[in-house]
């Protein structure tokens, strides 16, 4: 099980940007919802977000794709844009202001089956109050990037 220290303030649903740092390399990831762009270290690209009236909170780009249903309770799995997402764990954590946030550890299933996760799938932590706060992904060469939100 991964132990995470979560420092969170805003989510990508808000107008503006969210900043993450890679715990392995120190590289930064900025998701700018206002300009629909994201930047990883020195590379920038376009990113799309779900419409306000969508059943999902999502973002889609060539490097990062994430979706979670707005409806609660969160189902054990769901499909969005041909990708199966699996709720791995429900998390409760304390925010800096003392409030408790319910969050979800979510994995993308490589084969569409949530009961056969290997641990090498892209993983995310999403808080109901804080939005997307953690992104864990692996490159084709096996290099792990672990982005955690810091603003």
pLDDT at 24: 86
pLDDT at 17: 81
What averages of pLDDT result for each successive group of 10 residues across the chain (151 residues)? 31 62 88 88 88 94 88 94 94 86 92 87 90 81 79 66
Tell me the CA distances in angstroms from 145 to 74, 77, 106, 137, one per residue in order.
26, 24, 16, 5
pLDDT at 139: 67
Q: Where are the beta strands (DSSP E) in 41-99?
A: 43-46, 48-49, 56-60, 65-69, 77-80, 83-94
pLDDT at 118: 84
What is the spatial distance between Cα 120 and Cα 146, in angstroms, rounded to a whole number?
A: 12
């Amino acid at each position: 099980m991964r132990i995470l220290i979560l420092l969170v303030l805003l989510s990508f649903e808000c107008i503006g940007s969210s900043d993450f740092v890679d715990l392995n390399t120190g590289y930064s990831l900025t998701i700018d919802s206002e300009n629909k762009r994201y930047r990883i270290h020195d590379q920038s690209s376009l990113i799309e977000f779900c419409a306000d009236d969508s059943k999902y909170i999502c973002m889609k780009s060539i490097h990062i794709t994430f979706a979670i249903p707005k409806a609660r309770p969160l189902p054990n799995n769901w499909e969005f844009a041909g990708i199966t997402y699996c709720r791995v764990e429900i998390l409760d954590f304390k925010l800096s202001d003392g409030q408790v946030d319910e969050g979800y550890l979510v994995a993308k299933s490589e084969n569409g089956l949530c009961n056969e996760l290997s641990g090498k799938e892209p993983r995310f932590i999403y808080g109901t109050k804080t939005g997307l706060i953690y992104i864990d992904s692996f490159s084709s060469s096996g290099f792990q990037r672990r982005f955690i939100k810091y603003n």
